[in-house]
Structure 1
Amino acid sequence: MQLLIWIISVLVILLFAFLSLAIFYLFLLAAFWWLRRPGTSGKIPPQKRFAILIPAHNEEAVITQCLKSVQNLNYYEQFYQTFVIADNCSDATAQIAQEHRATIWERQDSKKRGKGFALAWGLARLKLEDFDAVVILDADCIVRENLLPAFNQRLLLGQQILQACDGIHNFRQSFLTYLLYLGNLVENFLFYGGRENLRLSSFLRGTGMCFSAALLQRQSWESFSETEDLEFSLKLLKEGISVNFVPETCVLAIQPTKFQTAYTQKRRWAKGTFSLIRRNFTKLLGQGIRKWKFSMVEAAFALLLLSRPLLIYLNLLGIFLALAIFSSKGQTLFWWGIVLLLAQTLYLGSSVFLASDKIKALRSLLLAPFYLLWLLLVQLTSLKGGEKPGWEKTARENAKA
């Protein structure tokens, strides 16, 4: 019995030590966002030429609003061109895109299915020498008018890979979308914004990505997993190429308003992310240590922090195990866990100060435990089975802003 208690004590100490480091790091990133928030810079005239690439699989329900927002970009029309990759489509996606003055590339390949394969095919087909940069968007997103001006300015500074904020268009529509909106505020500004201010490389997020054409001529797209964006980020990092976060602009996605609809999306993200961490964490950490590259060691640690709810689950597990230790050491560990849990609550609760409607944000956060319980069940189910190639689509809803 004493041996079992000793083993549990050691496990809890190691777990809480990791969580202490993780939470300190998250607060450090947040502090760098609050203390060094970017100011507004003067307007720079369009100089860079952009290709906007939109991979789409049966997106007739949502692609119209995406293309309309692209047409309304505050940028000279002759300086950008839109390409839609209608990938294995059986609906009117291609026809709708053509009606909105996009160049249509139709692709049929029953074996190589999925966004990663569609992007690789489209980038290989694109005449990169005709453009300065390529922007990749999801078909269900809406872009802010300043997307290309913001990218234009960063490219003129010599930055090669850019990632815009990943926002939510219909965040007012339901309790679920508002909680996702609050989580995105923390993700965008306190995590990625802090990383940018610390001059740390960000992770690509699938949509709102911008690559210099010169880089794409040297780096072919070879990421085909369910988390092809993160996979490509790590590939670039290993080669010493950073991703810059651009908080000045945003792409807004339509998120599911119902839990049953959101299940597929969240399960796919969790499955892909956990698989990516398993495949890359030890390799990235080992390479970083061997090569004495802080950027790789830091990125390996940051991978473990991609799911903030997971840190809460581990925290609660540690508290539960501490309660099983009937001794003064168990009480000390218990209160250590409580302090960590309060710190995590404070960190996530800081989204209230970033939200436009602070009263609604507070009310929504009171119901967050129910969301976390649902998300835990989703993440547990994601552990069954490996990644499957192809488009695993989230059912579309008629969303309003």
Structure 2
Amino acid sequence: GGWESGNLTEDIEFSLRLLERGYKIKYLDDLECDSEVPYTLKDLYKQQMRWAYGVIYSWKKHFMDIAKSKHLNFIDKFYMQGIFCSGYLISVLLAGLFITGTLSFITHAPAPIEWGRFFYELIRNIILTSGLILASIIALKKANKTQLTLPMIASSFSYGLVVTYYVNVGIFKALAKTPMEWYMLNKQGNKLD
């Protein structure tokens, strides 16, 4: 029982405790819940940073208990690790690609830009690294919302990159055991009138 003081994602932390003790969590695909999204981009970035921090913090705290749990078989443990870490692993990989690409660009011997080769490699690399965008396009098509494809792609290459930065800040703060401040986001449910 009880929430862990200072944990920024109490739902994740509590879920991990339930799972390591052998309880099952069932997904209800027909359950609808009201929720709010942050009103401002600044709040969105803070929310994503806090979630990344909280998930990694909780996973670090419970990793060994889950690995040793007698209530979970190997497949369950492996699956949980993939679920909890895959999204954040992609963010770290994107940051690594950005950093190494930038360093390569800066340290490469100066030469005239071959525009044909530049655009070919740029488009090829975007296609090779855009599995999530392709999956999103397929999901929009299945939901009969293909008109949202271009806005989704545009936001992925603008807001999405900024969110990835803040997610990485949260991840590395959790890995470095740096405390993170909890922010009250500007949402209707947080108003005190």
Q: TM-score range by the shorter chain?
A: 0.5 to 0.7
- Counterpart residue number, 2:150: 363
2:179 to 386, 393, 399: 386
Larger RCO (alpha carbons 8 Å, 6+ apart): 2
The answer as to whether partners of 2:95 and 2:165 remain within 8 angstroms in 1 is: no
Q: 1:312 to 1:363 in 2, by over 3 A?
A: farther
- Counterpart residue number, 1:287: 68
For 2:132, the aligned partner's letter is Q
The answer as to whether partners of 1:315 and 1:341 remain within 8 angstroms in 2 is: no
1:262-318 Cα shifts (integer Å, max 9, x gaps): 23322221221222233334553x3269x7532123212221124485166168359
1:35-84 Cα shifts (integer Å, max 9, x gaps): xxxxxxxxxxxxxxxxxxxxxxxxxxxxxxxxxxxxxxxxxxxxxxxxxx
- Counterpart residue number, 1:305: 86
Deviation of the 1:222 alpha carbon: 4.3
Look up the SS of the partner of 2:19 in the other structure: helix
Look up the SS of the partner of 1:298 in the other structure: helix
1:66-111 Cα shifts (integer Å, max 9, x gaps): xxxxxxxxxxxxxxxxxxxxxxxxxxxxxxxxxxxxxxxxxxxxxx
Distance 2:18 2:188 in 1: 35
Distance 2:35 2:73 in 1: 39
- Counterpart residue number, 1:374: 162
1:344 to 132, 136, 143: 132
Deviation of the 1:362 alpha carbon: 0.6
Distance 2:13 2:87 in 1: 13
Map 1:13-28 onto structure 2 (within 5 A).
none
> Whose helix proportion is higher, 1 or 2?
2
Unaligned runs of 5+ residues in structure 2 are: 106-123
Q: 1:355 to 1:259 in 2, by over 3 A?
A: farther
1:395 to 172, 186, 189: 186
TM-score by length of 2: 0.65
The answer as to whether partners of 1:261 and 1:394 remain within 8 angstroms in 2 is: yes
Count of paired positions: 163
- Counterpart residue number, 2:120: none
Map 1:110-189 onto structure 2 (within 5 A).
none
The answer as to whether partners of 2:9 and 2:51 remain within 8 angstroms in 1 is: yes
1:201-260 Cα shifts (integer Å, max 9, x gaps): xxxxxxxxxxxxxxxxxxx33444111111111111112111001111211312123212
For 1:296, the aligned partner's letter is K
Distance 1:232 1:249 in 2: 20
Distance 1:222 1:257 in 2: 27
The answer as to whether partners of 2:133 and 2:153 remain within 8 angstroms in 1 is: no
Deviation of the 1:394 alpha carbon: 0.2
Identity %: 17
For 2:133, the aligned partner's letter is T
Deviation of the 1:349 alpha carbon: 2.7
Q: 1:315 to 1:249 in 2, by over 3 A?
A: farther
> Whose strand proportion is higher, 1 or 2?
1
Matched, 1:296 2:83: no
Look up the SS of the partner of 1:304 in the other structure: helix
For 1:362, the aligned partner's letter is T
Deviation of the 1:393 alpha carbon: 1.1
